Structure 1
Amino acid sequence: MVETGVPKALLSFIVNCFEEISNQGLAEALRVLVFIRIPLAEAKIFLQEYNDQIIKSLIWVLGCEFKPQVMVKSHAVLALKTMIQAASSGFLERLEPPFFEMITRVLKQTTTVSQQGMNAALHALLIACPWGRNRLMMVESGAVSALIELELGIPEKRTTELILGVLFHLCCCADGRAEFLSHKGSLAVVTSSLASTKHFTGYIN
C-alpha cells in the first residue's frame, strides 16, 4: 500500500521543478511516482488543490531534454494520463492548446517514449475527446495526421484500438473529417482496420 501523502509530495516536487525551471531530481521523482502509482483519489484531491499546474508541469517535462530521454518522458506521460483520468468533466473541458500540441508531438516523435508511454498518450487524448472544443484543438494541433501515420506503422493491437478510437471522435467534427480525408493514408487505415474493429462503422456508413 502506498504511504499516504507520498504521491502528493512527489507531484508537488514536480510542480516546483516546473515553477523554478529546474530538472534536478525530476527524473527520479517521476520514476518513483510511476512505480508506486498515483491513487485516483489522491490525484483528484491534488487537481482540486493545484488546479492545472500539474498538467502544465508534466507538459513542460515532455518538452525538456533528458538522458535517458525515453524513460523520463514515458514516466511523464504515464503520470499525465493518470491525472487526466482523475480530472472532472469541468477540468477536461478547460484543457488548453499546449496540452494537445505536446501530446501530438509525442505521437509524431515515436522514439521519445516507450510503447507503454505511447499508449498512455493516446489514452489521454481519448479521455478528452467527448468535448467538441478539445476535438477542435486536437485537429488544429495536427493530431489526425499524426494518428494516421502512427497507424500506418502497424502498431500493436492495443495501440491500434486507441488510435481508431480517437480518430472516430475527431471524424465526428467537420474539420476532423476534412483532415482525415485529405490524408493520402486514410483509406489504407480504414481498409486495414475494418476486419478487426468497428470503431469506424458510424463514420463510413
Structure 2
Amino acid sequence: MDEVDVPSYFLCPISQEIMRDPVTVSSGITYDRESIERWISSSKNTSTCPVTRQPLSSDTDLIPNHSLRRLIQAWCTLNASKGIERIPTPKLPVDKAQIIKLLNEGNALQHQMRCLQSLRSIANENERNRRCLESAGAVEFLATIVANEDSSSSNDEEALYILYRLQISEAGLKKLIIRRSNGEDFIETLMRVLQHGTYPSRAYAALLLKSMFEVCDPIYLMALRVEHFAQIVNVLRDQISKQASKASLQIMVEICHWTRNRIKAVEAGAVSVLIEILLETTTEKRDSEMVLVVLDQLCGCAEGRAELLGHGAGIAVVSKKILRVSHLATERGVRILSSISRFYPTSFVLQEMLQVGVVSKLCLVLQVDCSLITKEKAKEMLKLHSRVWKNSSCIPVHLLSSYPSS
C-alpha cells in the first residue's frame, strides 16, 4: 500500500486508527465506537472523557456521527487505488431489549436453535455486544440449556460455545458457580458434559471450567472429588483440542496447590497421562512447562512420587526436558528428580538415574546459566549420592570436573 496522509480528524483519539464507526460522547468529542466502549467499560476509566477529562458515565449515550462516517467512507473510495479499503456502514448496535425479546423466543423449544444461532452472531460481532448479552440475562438462558439433560447435543454445543465466547465477567462467573439446576451446581453440569458430551462440548466445558476455577472459592476447589479430576485428566488423555488441553493443564496447576487434591489427581491417573504428554515430540514449550509444574506438585505427595517412579519412562523424560525447554522447566525438572532421589535412594533408582543421564544433566546444570536455587538443588543431589555416582563410567569425562566434592 502506498503512503497516504490520513486526515487527523479521521483518527480515533484513543487508538489513533481510522474510525470505522464514529460516535460522539456527551463531551462533544468523537471516538471510534469500539475504542470508547472499551474505555468506558474499563473500571479505571469510567469517570472521564479521554480528551477533555469531563465526567462520563458507563451508560453514556454514544451518538453516531453519520456525517463524519460518510466523509471517511468517501475518502477511502477516493484512495482505493492506493490500497485503502472502504469502511463498511456499521450495523445498528444491538440493545438489551432486542436481546431479551430474542431470549424469550428461545424459551420455545422449536425456536431454540435459531435463537442460539442469532446469539452466536451477536456475540461474535464485538465486545459491546458480549457485555450487552451478559447484562440481558443470556448467561442464565444458556446455562439452563446446558443443564437440561434432555437438550440436544447440537444445542448444548452451541450454548457452550456462546458461553465461552462471551468472556463472562468475574461477577458473572461467580454467579454461574453458585447457580443450581436439577440439584446440581453449574460446575457439576460442566463435569457431566466432560464425561458424556461431544468433543466440541467437552472442549468448551474445559475452557469454561478454567475461567470459573480462577475465581472459585478455595474451599470449593479443595472439595473436588476424584471423579472430577478423572474428567479433567480424560480431556488431556483424549487430546480433544490444543485449547482444551492447555485449559486442562492450567486447571491442574490451579487445583493441585493442596495436598489432598494432589492425591486425588494421582488416583485419577494424572501422572501417567502427564508423562505421555512429555513423551510427545510435538508438545509445545508452554505445555511442557505446565506439565512439569503439575508433576512437581504431584511429587509433593508419596502417591505421586510412586506413580512417577512406576512409569517406565518417568525419570528419563523428566531428565530429558532439563536444559531443553526453559529455565522454568529446568527448575521443575530438577525439583522432581530431587524428590525421587531423596525419598527413593535405593540402588535400583540411583542406577536408573545414572543410566538415563540424570547425573550427567545435573553436572551440566552446575556449568550453565541456571537459577541459584536450581544449581543448589542439583549440587545437593550430587553430593548426597556421590558414593554411588561419582566414579561411574556413565558420566562423561568432561563433566566429572564439575562434580561437587563431598
Structure 2 counterpart of 1:42, which letter? Answer: G
Structure 1 CA distance, aligned partners of 2:254 and 2:184? Answer: 16
Structure 1 CA distance, aligned partners of 2:321 and 2:184? Answer: 36
Q: Find 2:234's aligned residue among 79, 83, 105.
A: 105
Structure 2 CA distance, aligned partners of 1:12 and 1:168? Answer: 39
Structure 2 CA distance, aligned partners of 1:125 and 1:157? Answer: 17
Structure 1 SS opposite 2:257: coil
Q: Find 1:91's aligned residue among 197, 207, 220.
A: 220
Structure 2 SS opposite 1:25: helix
Question: Is the contact made by 1:30 and 1:72 (CA closer than 8 Å) also made in structure 2?
Answer: yes
Alignment of 1:142-153 (within 5 A): 142-153=269-280
Question: Is the contact made by 1:74 and 1:114 (CA closer than 8 Å) also made in structure 2?
Answer: yes
Structure 1 CA distance, aligned partners of 2:336 and 2:279? Answer: 19
Structure 2 CA distance, aligned partners of 1:65 and 1:203? Answer: 35
Q: Is 1:6 matched up with 2:134?
A: no
Moved more, 189-198 or 51-60: 51-60
**Alignment correspondent of 1:199:** 332
Structure 1 CA distance, aligned partners of 2:288 and 2:184? Answer: 29
**Structure 2 segments unaligned to the other structure (5+ residues):** 1-127, 339-406
Q: For 1:112-161, what per-residue CA distance to the aligned partner results, in whole angstroms no more than 9, with x for missing partners?
A: x1101100011111110011111111000110001001111131111111
Structure 1 SS opposite 2:312: coil
Cα drift, residue 8 of structure 1: 3.4
**Structure 1 segments unaligned to the other structure (5+ residues):** none
Cα drift, residue 41 of structure 1: 2.0
Q: For 1:145-181, what per-residue CA distance to the aligned partner results, in whole angstroms no more than 9, with x for missing partners?
A: 0100111113111111111111110000011001011
**Alignment correspondent of 1:167:** 295
Structure 1 CA distance, aligned partners of 2:304 and 2:184? Answer: 27
Q: Find 2:193's aligned residue among 61, 67, 83.
A: 61
Q: Is 1:116 matched up with 2:243?
A: yes
Structure 1 SS opposite 2:332: coil
CA distance 1:65–1:93, shift in 2 (3 Å)? closer
Q: TM-score, normalised by structure 1?
A: 0.88
Cα drift, residue 62 of structure 1: 1.6
Q: Is 1:40 matched up with 2:40?
A: no
Structure 1 CA distance, aligned partners of 2:197 and 2:263? Answer: 29
Q: Find 1:131's aligned residue among 258, 267, 278.
A: 258
Structure 2 counterpart of 1:194, which letter? Answer: I
Structure 1 counterpart of 2:259, which letter? Answer: G
RMSD over aligned CA atoms reads 1.9
CA distance 1:8–1:161, shift in 2 (3 Å)? farther
Question: Is the contact made by 1:190 and 1:200 (CA closer than 8 Å) also made in structure 2?
Answer: yes
Question: Is the contact made by 1:8 and 1:42 (CA closer than 8 Å) also made in structure 2?
Answer: no
Structure 1 CA distance, aligned partners of 2:296 and 2:287? Answer: 14
Structure 2 CA distance, aligned partners of 1:105 and 1:39? Answer: 28
Structure 1 counterpart of 2:193, which letter? Answer: V
Alignment of 1:24-39 (within 5 A): 25-39=155-169
How many residue pairs were aligned?
Answer: 198
Q: TM-score, normalised by structure 2?
A: 0.46
Structure 2 SS opposite 1:172: coil
Q: Find 2:211's aligned residue among 57, 82, 89.
A: 82
